Structure 1
């Protein structure tokens, strides 16, 4: 993931934004996965989503 930060940002701010974007991606992925699983009853995808949720919580 390529994120370009202005030079005014400190490293800790950049790290925080990077972590925030990463967790946001996983939450969106998990929500999409749950919707997909409900629509398709995909147990394999359910397992992936459960692992993702366990990771972010």
Structure 2
């Protein structure tokens, strides 16, 4: 529930995070962040692939 509240606070047009911030995230967190940014990632993507799509 807490994560959902945080995600709802962040506007879709929020500033993109840098690679350093993205690398600090877990894979599941990256997937959640990607959905808030309108970026499609797959569960089969590696963490590096997700970060590449987000930058």
**Structure 1 and Structure 2 fold alike (TM over 0.5):** no
User: Using CA pairs below 8 Å that are at least 6 residues apart, which structure has the higher relative contact order?
Assistant: 2
Q: TM-score, normalised by structure 1?
A: 0.31
Q: Which has the larger radius of gyration?
A: 1
